[in-house]
Amino acid sequence: MNVMADRNVRPPMIAHGPLITESTKWAGVRLLNGEVIDKRGIILTYESASSVIRSNATIESRNRFSKLPMTPPGHPSLKFGIITDIHYAPEEGGAADNTSCDLALCVSLWEEARTEFVVQLGDLISREGPEAEADLLAVRDMLHRYPGPTVHVPGNHCLAVPFDRFSRIMSVPAPYLSFAVAGIRFIVLNGMDVSVLAEPDNEADRQMLSYYRDQLQALFYCGAVGTRQMEWLTTELDASTRNREPVIVFCHLPLLAETTDAKHGLLWNHEAVTAIILRYANVRACLGGHYHPGAYALLNGVHFIVIPGFIARNEPPFCPCGTVDISGGRLRINAADGSILHDLEFREVR
């Protein structure tokens, strides 16, 4: 049964962040210099674009969001799909067919659950070198069976493909961004903003890279949120507070040591980023991947959740993907088999 056939309406989505590709598929993307891309792909000045932001400009993804009034802040109700750490590796015997079949099951789950969108939390591929882009194209096509919008969070393995190519292949409009659906603000962080795989473009970030790489000898396959992104994060959280929006943060790399281990590691500057997040009472949860078994911690009322990796789907908790249901003042994450991974309080913004 094609349950998507009856889905003629969707809530609007608003996004803003630093644009890195000229894409006419994304509207309402706010640049660092205050300009905005409108639905025609035209760059507007901040003054002419402010009405676009205020009027709930939609993102034009593979499926369009209709311009429905947003759910009043403080009473969110929403369901979206979630998946992380696919690590597509076709050189492993039978892996390509298995991945394709299992992702098809995930797509069916998301459709049957009537999810509004899907969040892919990073590490789509495993191989490096010339095979990496071919692998990325292959797994992209598998995920594109889902007929709704998909938000891609950059992971460390994703950067085996240069970010400009990754962003074009996966239709990622910005290295980090925020968007709003049903009165909830979602913030997508790029935890590989400063890393050995991403050349910093300013002196502060070059010093940050040198500090973590050379002085602390941090895990080379992890990274940090850069200085400009930190400033942007604060701006976004300030705006969400004024708008009384509950906030969910996405980042591939774990933000707390309690939600990972020494082998996998976590965001290099996790303490600084977490300190910013914890200043805001409207932040409800931080969702990530990277640590394949999955994990959970509660700190100052914020839920820090690491989703189990698709690559570890044949190990406990046997979770290739899932759905996130926000309703009735709770945040529930269900695995593909219907079991409940998390059932957490999702407090209203007052």
Average pLDDT over residues 93-110: 86
pTM over 0.75: yes
Which residue ranges make up each domain of the chain? 69-345
Q: What CA dihedral angle connects 169, 173, 179 and 181, to 10 degrees?
A: -50
Residue 105: which of 138, 127, 83 has the closest Cα? 83
Phi, psi of 231 (to 5 degrees): -65, -45
pLDDT in tens, 245-304: 999 999 999 999 999 999 999 999 999 999 999 999 999 999 999 999 999 999 999 999
Give the Cα separation of 116 and 327 in Å (integer): 14
The architecture (CATH level 2) of 69-345 comes to 4-Layer Sandwich (3.60)
- The pLDDT value recorded for residue 339 is 95
> Which residue, 235, 156, 153, 164, is CA-closest to 192?
156
pLDDT value of position 348? 64
Confidence bin at 81 (pLDDT 50/70/90): very high
Give the pLDDT confidence score for residue 12 in this predicted structure. Answer: 40
When pLDDT is cut at 50, 70 and 90, the band that residue 153 belongs to is: very high
Helical H runs in 144-223?
163-169, 203-210
Token pair 């007052």 is found at 350
Distance between CA atoms of residues 105 and 120, nearest Å = 15
**Residue 141 C-alpha from the chain's centroid:** 19
Give DSSP secondary structure letters for 51-67. Answer: HHHHTTPPPB-SSBPP-
The model's pLDDT over 310-333, given as tens digits with 9 standing for 90+, comes to: 999 999 999 999 999 999 899 999
The helix/strand/coil state of 110 is: helix
- The lowest-confidence range among 56-65, 124-133, 170-179, 211-220 is 56-65
What percent of the chain clears pLDDT 90, i.e. is strictly above it? 71
For 84, the token pair is 């992380």
- What pLDDT score was predicted for residue 346? 81
Check if the beta carbon of residue 148 is closer than 8 Å to that of residue 114: no
| Residue 187 clears pLDDT 70, i.e. is over it | yes
Measured between alpha carbons, how far is residue 70 from residues 66, 80, 328 in Å? 11, 16, 17
User: What integer pLDDT is reported at residue 90 of this predicted model?
Assistant: 84
| SS3 state of residue 239 | helix
pLDDT tens for 32-75 read 334 343 333 333 332 222 222 222 222 333 222 333 234 444 45
Percent of the chain with pLDDT over 70: 75
Nearest C-alpha neighbor of 29 from the set 13, 43, 16, 20: 16
Which residues in 43-67 are b (16+ Cβ under 10 Å) and which e? ebeeeebeebeeebbbbbbebbbee
Mean pLDDT of the chain: 82
Query: pLDDT tier at 92 (50, 70, 90 boundaries)?
Result: low
Gap between the Cα atoms of 186 and 49, Å rounded: 21
pLDDT digits (tens, 9 = 90+) for 160-182: 999 999 999 999 999 999 999 99
- Cα 135 to chain centroid, rounded: 20
Beta pairing partners, 302: 299
CB crowding 69-102: b at 16 or more within 10 Å, else e: ebeebeebebbbbbbbbbbbbbeeeeebeebbeb
